[in-house]
Amino acid sequence: MGGPLDFRMRTRIVSGTDSMHGLGRLASELGGTRALLVTDRGIVEAGHAERAAGSLRRAGLAVAEFAETRENPTTRDVDAGRESADRFGPDLIVGLGGGSAMDCAKGINFVHSNGGRMSDYWGVGKAARPMLPMIGIPTTAGTGSEVQSFALISDAETHVKMACGDEKAAFRVALLDPSLTLTQPPRVTALTGLDAIAHAVESYVSTRRNAISTAFSVAAWRLLAGNLDGVLRNPTDIEARSNMQLGACLAGLAIENAMLGAAHALANPLTTHFGLPHGSAVAILLPHVVRHNGATRGAWYGELLAAGAAIPGMPDSKSAAGGLAAFLESLTRRAGLETRLASMIADRDAIPRLARDAANQWTGKFNPRGMTEDDYRRLYENAW
Ligand SMILES: [Fe+2]
């Protein structure tokens, strides 16, 4: 797996139970004196926002809070946050929450420090001026946004999801505190956990894979596949929680270096048109993508099974794509999530339109086996 490589760690990763106590110190180290805390209502209600603000204030920082981010953030959320930033004048931004809050923090940073509109930054490397330093604190174990330089922001009018990436938009520090994930409802643990597993599996076989990204994918796969059952059975198991959080973070690093594949291309239109939770859509489609890719990439899936051989219930590596797909389905079922599309949406006639949309998803271009619109249609049918 030689070939060209350009790898740099942009984000310092600090992980440990109650590590959020150190937030103020980390912010000071970055030169912060005025912090804008970007979060959402649920995080405020759980008391996490106040704990974060307290640590920042104890370190001498002035703090303003923007808690209006919503799931799948839009340009409207970013614009509202930007008003807060323009009023307060922060020299540091803290993103506290799931992927949505962290992405919104990045979006606010783009338009606050570089001006213009969110759509001006759609693509890669569009920010000409420096951006404020940021600290990312995930409260789920899922997206890995804390180590990615991309913000996914939807256009509030057209609903198009814009991927806005710039190395300056990467968090300078990712603060992983597993105690923040203890308050999660079991369904959120299941949805975000299966999404993270899909990140490990898709990035491992993508066309952009390299020696470093695959190391992250495998480490993430072991941590995630080996601990999801455990955190669902025993939600207060802090070590299992920490393993899930680190696994999701490593999977995020794998994506940053290798991108994703067809399962995410299939999942996105289901969220856009039918409001399916991202984790659920990905969990339903991934086994079918694995079977499809298995025709040419079975050996790579066998490597994942071999890497997870110590995990109870892991199929023999010789079973390759078929074994991996069956394992993923049983994991989804045990997590209490649906495995068939028919139980989630009523309108089977929507499949051709969904397939057209899936074929236009950027993320599908990195799938190891070329995908046509007809392939996407067939995979939706298989998952029905
Ligand atoms: Fe995902």
Please check whether residues 101 and 217 belong to one and the same domain: no
Specify the pLDDT at position 160: 83
- In the reported structure, the alpha carbon of residue 143 is separated from the centroid of ligand 1 by a whole-number distance in angstroms of 6
Residue 54, both tokens: 């307290």
Give buried/exposed letters for 339-377 (b at 16+ CB in 10 A, else e): bebeebbeeeebbeebbebbbebebbbbbbbebeeebbb
Please check whether residues 25 and 73 belong to one and the same domain: yes
Q: In the predicted model, is pLDDT for residue 183 greater than 90?
A: no
1 within a domain of the structure (yes/no)? no
The string of pLDDT tens digits covering residues 149-177 is 999 999 999 888 899 999 999 999 999 99
Please check whether residues 171 and 198 belong to one and the same domain: no
For the purposes of burial, counting CB atoms within 10 Å of the CB of 97, is it exposed (0-12), middle (13-18) or buried (19 or more)? buried
336 within a domain of the structure (yes/no)? yes
Please check whether residues 211 and 252 belong to one and the same domain: yes
Please check whether residues 370 and 243 belong to one and the same domain: yes
- In the reported structure, the alpha carbon of residue 205 is separated from the centroid of ligand 1 by a whole-number distance in angstroms of 15
4 within a domain of the structure (yes/no)? no
- In the reported structure, the alpha carbon of residue 363 is separated from the centroid of ligand 1 by a whole-number distance in angstroms of 10
The string of pLDDT tens digits covering residues 25-68 is 999 999 999 999 999 999 999 999 999 999 999 999 999 999 99
Please check whether residues 175 and 283 belong to one and the same domain: no
307 within a domain of the structure (yes/no)? yes
Specify the pLDDT at position 2: 62
Among 161, 180, 199, the domain-final residue is 180
pLDDT band at residue 278 using 50, 70 and 90 as cut-offs: very high
Domain extent, residue 89, equals 12-180
Q: In the predicted model, is pLDDT for residue 1 greater than 80?
A: no
354 within a domain of the structure (yes/no)? yes
Across the strands, what pairs with 373?
none
- In the reported structure, the alpha carbon of residue 32 is separated from the centroid of ligand 1 by a whole-number distance in angstroms of 31
Q: In the predicted model, is pLDDT for residue 3 greater than 80?
A: no
Do you know the residue count of the chain? 384
In angstroms, rounded to a whole number, what is the distance separating the alpha carbons of residues 364 and 206?
A: 10
Q: Confirm if 365 and 272 have CB atoms less than 8 A apart.
A: no
* Of the candidate ranges 241-245, 271-275, 336-340, the one whose mean pLDDT is the lowest: 271-275
- In the reported structure, the alpha carbon of residue 361 is separated from the centroid of ligand 1 by a whole-number distance in angstroms of 13
pLDDT band at residue 7 using 50, 70 and 90 as cut-offs: confident
If we measure between CA atoms, which residue out of 384, 312, 306 comes closest to residue 349? 384
The string of pLDDT tens digits covering residues 65-77 is 999 999 889 999 9
Q: How many separate domains does the chain show?
A: 2
Among 137, 152, 180, the domain-final residue is 180
7 within a domain of the structure (yes/no)? no
If we measure between CA atoms, which residue out of 74, 207, 225, 77 comes closest to residue 153? 74
Please check whether residues 141 and 229 belong to one and the same domain: no
pLDDT, mean over the chain: 96
- In the reported structure, the alpha carbon of residue 61 is separated from the centroid of ligand 1 by a whole-number distance in angstroms of 34
Please check whether residues 82 and 162 belong to one and the same domain: yes
- In the reported structure, the alpha carbon of residue 278 is separated from the centroid of ligand 1 by a whole-number distance in angstroms of 7
Specify the pLDDT at position 358: 97
- In the reported structure, the alpha carbon of residue 91 is separated from the centroid of ligand 1 by a whole-number distance in angstroms of 31
pLDDT band at residue 369 using 50, 70 and 90 as cut-offs: very high
Q: What is the CATH number of the domain that holds 148?
A: 3.40.50.1970
Read off the DSSP letter of residue 61.
-
Please check whether residues 68 and 153 belong to one and the same domain: yes
Please check whether residues 32 and 156 belong to one and the same domain: yes
- In the reported structure, the alpha carbon of residue 155 is separated from the centroid of ligand 1 by a whole-number distance in angstroms of 19
> pLDDT > 70: what percent of the chain?
99
- In the reported structure, the alpha carbon of residue 269 is separated from the centroid of ligand 1 by a whole-number distance in angstroms of 13
192 within a domain of the structure (yes/no)? yes
211 within a domain of the structure (yes/no)? yes
- In the reported structure, the alpha carbon of residue 289 is separated from the centroid of ligand 1 by a whole-number distance in angstroms of 14
Q: In the predicted model, is pLDDT for residue 359 greater than 80?
A: yes
- In the reported structure, the alpha carbon of residue 192 is separated from the centroid of ligand 1 by a whole-number distance in angstroms of 8
Give the predicted TM-score (pTM) of the model: 0.95
Half-sphere exposure (Cβ direction) of 287: Cα atoms closer than 13 Å:
23
Please state the rounded mean pLDDT for residues 296-325. Answer: 97
In angstroms, rounded to a whole number, what is the distance separating the alpha carbons of residues 142 and 249?
A: 8
Q: What is the CATH number of the domain that holds 222?
A: 1.20.1090.10
The string of pLDDT tens digits covering residues 198-223 is 999 999 999 999 999 999 999 999 99
Please state the rounded mean pLDDT for residues 319-341. Answer: 97
- In the reported structure, the alpha carbon of residue 144 is separated from the centroid of ligand 1 by a whole-number distance in angstroms of 9
If we measure between CA atoms, which residue out of 280, 184, 296, 293 comes closest to residue 232? 184
Among 133, 162, 180, the domain-final residue is 180
Please check whether residues 145 and 26 belong to one and the same domain: yes
Please check whether residues 91 and 116 belong to one and the same domain: yes
- In the reported structure, the alpha carbon of residue 302 is separated from the centroid of ligand 1 by a whole-number distance in angstroms of 22
Task: Give residue for tokens 């110190």.
Answer: 25
In angstroms, rounded to a whole number, what is the distance separating the alpha carbons of residues 46 and 66?
A: 16
